[in-house]
Amino acid sequence: MEDIKKIVKEKYSQIAQQSKSQNETSCCGATGCCSDVDYTIFSENYDKLEGYDPNADLGLGCGIPTEFAHIKKGDTVVDLGSGAGNDCFVARALTGESGKVIGIDMTEAMIDKARANAEKLGYNNVEFRLGDIEKMPLTANKADVIVSNCVLNLVPDKEKAFSEIYRVLKPGGHLSVSDVVIRGELPDQIKEAAEMYAGCVAGAIQIETYLQIMQEAGLKNIQVNKEKAIVVPDEVMLNFLDADQLTAFRSAGTDILSITVYAEKPLSEGCGCGCGCN
């Protein structure tokens, strides 16, 4: 697991040094790997959203989790895998100056870039913390809302990640996460490719398993609000499969999906006094 984290950290440290346009034109977001993976393949257009800052958008998401996050003025919002701050700044526009936004990322280069962006924008209620999603640098019952964009598939221990999400959410709080999942089976060559793991494909799990992990963590009212099929281009897949293997994969009917999922932490889990407080 530590090897996987090291690979992801190294790749995203490289990506942090470039802009969205550079990431799109350099194939995988880091100079010298154009034979491998396009890390921006899942990204959505944020241009029309309030709070959007192009300098914070590296094109690394697979959805717009704030779209279904029901963020209210004054909320405390936590963004897991906050990158250069893109979703944090959109969330800040929704929670307003009376709210607070905390971004967590395990890559120092991303934290540095996000903090520079926040300082340039003059935001004093957005902060970025270096940390691991499997062991968040946050107290329990902290967040009204947790968002995450194409990051949890990169976490080796997803059960621990959702357990931490449950811990950090306030009773009655909720999450909205965009992520990559699959229906069917990926070829072993894809599952074992470090580039495809860091590119959010090899680490994707079955959608049913993903939702079950959320349920087993204690989350309720789980809803898939958006689902979109992703087609990884043949030229990318052929870096890991031969022509016959690619044909077999395409005919097998495996779907790579971007989903945005909503779920809640029950209010009754509150302070232990039986009053339903949060």
Per the CB < 8 A criterion, the answer to whether 259 and 178 are in contact is yes
| 4 confidence band (pLDDT: 50, 70, 90) | low
Q: Where are the beta strands (DSSP E) in 124-271?
A: 126-130, 143-149, 169-183, 220-230, 255-264
**24 assigned to some structural domain:** yes
Per-residue pLDDT of 239-257, as tens digits, reads 888 999 999 989 998 898 9
8 confidence band (pLDDT: 50, 70, 90): confident
105 bridge partner residues? 130
Taken in order 187, 209, 174, 132, is the CA torsion positive or negative?
Answer: negative
Q: Using DSSP, state whether 114 is helix, strand or coil.
A: helix
Could you tell me if residue 174 is inside a domain?
yes
Q: Give the pLDDT mean for 199-205.
A: 72
Measured CA angle at 75 (ends 71, 80), to 5 deg: 75
pLDDT for residue 17: 75
**Looking at the predicted structure, is the pLDDT value of residue 42 above 50?**
yes
Q: Residue 81: which pLDDT band, with cuts at 50, 70 and 90?
A: very high
pLDDT band of residue 200 (cuts 50, 70, 90) is: low
> Does residue 277 sit within a domain?
no
Residue 31 has pLDDT above 50, yes or no: no
| Residue 92: closest CA among 79, 104, 83, 109 | 79
What is the count of structural domains for the chain?
A: 1
Q: Is the pLDDT confidence value at 170 over 80?
A: yes
Q: What is the domain range of residue 197?
A: 2-266
Indicate the pLDDT class of residue 36, thresholds 50, 70 and 90. low
Residue 19 has pLDDT above 70, yes or no: no
| 158-181 exposure pattern, b = at least 16 Cβ within 10 A, e = fewer | bebbbbbbbbbbbbbbbbbbbbbb
Mean pLDDT of 155-175: 96
Residue 196 pLDDT: 63
Examine the pLDDT at 30 and tell me if it is beyond 60.
no
- Span 103-150, pLDDT tens digits: 999 999 999 999 999 999 999 999 999 999 999 999 999 999 999 999
pLDDT for the residue numbered 33: 40
User: What CATH number has the domain bearing residue 29?
Assistant: 3.40.50.150
pLDDT on residue 131 = 96
271 within a domain of the structure (yes/no): no
pLDDT of residue 61: 87
Q: Is the per-residue pLDDT at 274 higher than 50?
A: no
Confirm whether 278 is domain-assigned: no
Query: Looking at the domain assignment, is residue 90 inside a domain?
Result: yes
The pLDDT assigned to 40 comes to: 60
| Mean pLDDT computed over 219-236 | 92
Instruction: Look at residue 191 in the predicted model and tell me its pLDDT.
Output: 78
Greater confidence (164 vs 200) lies with: 164
pLDDT band at 198 (very low <50, low <70, confident <90, very high): low
How many whole angstroms separate alpha carbon 41 and alpha carbon 28? 9
Segment 176-205 mean pLDDT: 78
Residue 156 lies in a domain: yes
* Residue 273: inside a domain: no
